[in-house]
Amino acid sequence: MIEQMVKWELRRLFKNRKFKIAFTLQLLVILLIIPLFGSYVKALEEGGFFNLSIGGKGYLPIGISSEKNSLTDIISENKRFDIVWVEEKEGLELLRNGRISAFLVIEKEFEDKIRSYRSSKVEVYINNQNPKGVSAYSEINTILLGFRDGAIEARIRDLSIVEPNIELVSQSPLDNNTPSQNQTTQEQTTENVTNILDRPANFEEQIERTRKSFEDEQGGYIVLLVLLLPLFLSGGMLIDLLISEKERRTGEMLLALPMKREGIFYSKFISILAIILFQLLFWVVALYYFGRVTNPLIILPLTITAILLLSITGLIGVYSKNYKDSALIVTVTFILLFFLLFGTSTLYVAGLKEAAAISPLSLVIAIENGTYSLKEAAISILPSLSFSIILIYLSTVLYKKDEFYFGPRPSIQDLVFEFAGKLRLKNIVFSPYLIALIFGFIAIFISIIFEIFFGIIALYFTESIFAILFIWATIEELSKSIGIFSAKKYFPLKWHEGMLAGMTSGLGFALLEDIIFTAFALNLFPDHALRVFVTRTFLSGGIHIVSTGVIGIGISERKYLVPAFLAGILIHFIYNITILRGAL
């Protein structure tokens, strides 16, 4: 019967004109992307490095004080720059006023010196207060590095033993006896490009390492970029299949059919999976034909990623009441997933292979580079596959519930409550603690998402580790408190019961956090894994239990809500600082 339904769904999809157009376009995108990425890879191969600065024509206004030469020609070709040709004094004034984001002073004899393999000097002034200055610096730096490498290659070709030297000088306009009101750049040292010390040495090393990694792994990375697209494009189709049945009420007839309800869900899941697999196959074959894929085995981790994506979108489709409802959830989930999948694969090519191996997309790169092992494959595939199976199971559980079709749809809290109710341990009095425990588990995932997001923002604006630690403590305590609020929704809690619920939520959080940390420790520093586990269990575990227990008192006795929250966060924050100092 599922087979019949799959055939029907596929036929229905392929009879839909809009779908046919979208599907054909998706297939054809590959023809567009291959030359596009081909050029990109070529650019990488010719000495550039992966630049994440914001794009856009004329986005970065820069000033140049120089005669026209081969370097200015290359800079002029970069469409992101809007170049102003000025004298040195005028240029510094423009930089100070924020009219330009960077200013280059290239000495007059630059061309002659380069051509005769002598050292030459390029001074780069940037305004650190201007965010565009950082992007401009990154772009200019890329060009200068490429130019230097090109010059070296040319020199080597001429069999010269003397390495040409281009000096990159980053200076503040203040140093040029021009007082500034804008407090422009403070970079003052003059260093050889090959060892730029105007930024922290380890930072530069990191950039260099990343650049090399990208060059080494670029093939796999580009393939990954391309192949990730159809997966995301197809994700919405499953939601459409599930929600359209609800909105048009055609699903009512499916529920009347002599088949198990989960069979309906599976048939839709399989239909879309079949389409994704077809698309992936088409793209992989096309890329293989054009020489951008070396091992078609990459279809395996990509299929796992597709299943993961579909299991997430399937759950969203089952849970959502209508298109409107699903739109927001899907958008947020896809953005998070995109960053998660891309983040891990970027970590992989940047060298943090152990930490990134958990993503199936890292395996794509490894397969492409011929460096994969069975262990690596297992680490990449099993967590995603297990998570997908759990999500698919959850989807079928929800799909079997009448409320998800005929409403009113229960909230997540109601579902957890129902689950906790089923798990009652002899006496119903345990239910609030079970609810708190389950939400404690969930809280870790909520925390991770918000900690990454707000951590990056805090780092960008404050560069203070203390601010980050405080934000993290706040996020974790707020996440854990959801469990206590949920328990209180169903049971009137006295202060000591609130405290117990808080402690249980903290325990759930700490347990899962311990498992995650220990798993990472096992992967990265196996010798210290046991120490990590013990330390975390007794120190972090205790703190999570205590801090959330305090908050639990405040939630049950509303008059103490704010002080209890502040106290809980403070306990957590002080612990974070203590651990940091100990670690330092």
Partner 1 sequence: MIEFLDVSKFFGDHKALDNATIKIEDGTTIGIVGPNGAGKTTLIRLLCGILKPSKGQIIIDGMDLQKHPTEIKKIIGYLPEEPNLYERPKAGELLEYFGLLYGVPKEKINQRIDELLTLVGLSDRKDWKVSSFSKGMRQRLAISRALIHDPKIIVFDEPTMGLDPLTSRKIRDFIKTLKKDKTIILCTHYMYEAEQLCDKIAIIDKGKIKAYDTIENLKKIYIKEKTFKIGLKNMKKDILDRISLDKNLKVEERGENYLVIKARDYEDLNYVLREDVIYFEDLTPSLEEVFIELVGSKND
Choose which of 73, 77, 402, 527 interacts with partner 1 (CB under 8 A). Answer: 402
* Token pair 């609020």: residue: 485
Rule CB under 8 A: is residue 322 a binding residue for partner 1? no
Rule CB under 8 A: is residue 247 a binding residue for partner 1? no
Choose which of 24, 129, 250, 322 interacts with partner 1 (CB under 8 A). Answer: 250
Cβ density class 233-268: b for 16+ within 10 Å, e for less: bbbbbbbbbbbebbeeeebeebeeeeeebbbbbbbb
Residue 244: CB minimum distance to partner 1, A? 10
Rank residues 15 and 375 by Cβ distance to partner 1 and give the closer one. Answer: 15
Give the number of residues in contact with partner 1, rule: CB under 8 A: 24
Choose which of 8, 85, 203, 538 interacts with partner 1 (CB under 8 A). Answer: 8
Rule CB under 8 A: is residue 256 a binding residue for partner 1? yes
Rank residues 274 and 566 by Cβ distance to partner 1 and give the closer one. Answer: 274
Rule CB under 8 A: is residue 259 a binding residue for partner 1? yes
Q: Is 120 helix (H, G, I), strand (E, B) or coil?
A: strand
Residues 405-444 that bind partner 1 (CB under 8 A): 406-408, 410
Sheet holding 60-65, edge to edge: 81-85, 60-65, 102-106, 120-126, 166-170, 190-192
Residue 1: CB minimum distance to partner 1, A? 6
Q: Is 427 helix (H, G, I), strand (E, B) or coil?
A: strand
Rule CB under 8 A: is residue 36 a binding residue for partner 1? no
Stretch of 7-15, 217-225, 367-375, 422-430 contacting partner 1, by CB under 8 A = 7-15
Stretch of 58-66, 256-264, 362-370, 532-540 contacting partner 1, by CB under 8 A = 256-264
Choose which of 18, 157, 248, 581 interacts with partner 1 (CB under 8 A). Answer: 248
Rank residues 260 and 528 by Cβ distance to partner 1 and give the closer one. Answer: 260
Residue 253: CB minimum distance to partner 1, A? 5
Stretch of 36-44, 257-265, 355-363, 530-538 contacting partner 1, by CB under 8 A = 257-265
Under a CB-based contact definition with an 8 Å cutoff, are residues 311 and 325 in contact? no
Rank residues 296 and 407 by Cβ distance to partner 1 and give the closer one. Answer: 407
DSSP bridge partners of 167? 121, 192
Closest CA to 22 of 240, 345, 203, 202: 240
Rule CB under 8 A: is residue 258 a binding residue for partner 1? yes
Choose which of 257, 423, 457, 515 interacts with partner 1 (CB under 8 A). Answer: 257
Which CA distances in Å does 89 have to 95, 105, 231?
A: 10, 10, 53
Structure tokens belonging to residue 17? 């004109």
What distance in Å separates the CA atoms of residue 61 and residue 100, rounded to the nearest whole number? 5
Closest CA to 509 of 582, 448, 456: 448
280 membership: H or E segment, kind and range? helix 261-289
* Token pair 């704010």: residue: 562
Residue 340: CB minimum distance to partner 1, A? 34
Rule CB under 8 A: is residue 255 a binding residue for partner 1? yes
What distance in Å separates the CA atoms of residue 465 and residue 569, rounded to the nearest whole number? 16
Distance of alpha carbon 483 from its chain centroid, rounded?
Answer: 27
Under a CB-based contact definition with an 8 Å cutoff, are residues 383 and 361 in contact? no
Give the DSSP letter of residue 121. E
Stretch of 153-161, 180-188, 253-261, 483-491 contacting partner 1, by CB under 8 A = 253-261
Give the DSSP letter of residue 425. B
Residues 123-162 that bind partner 1 (CB under 8 A): none
Q: What residue ranges bind partner 1 (CB under 8 A)?
A: 1, 4-5, 8, 12, 15-16, 248-250, 252-253, 255-260, 402-403, 406-408, 410
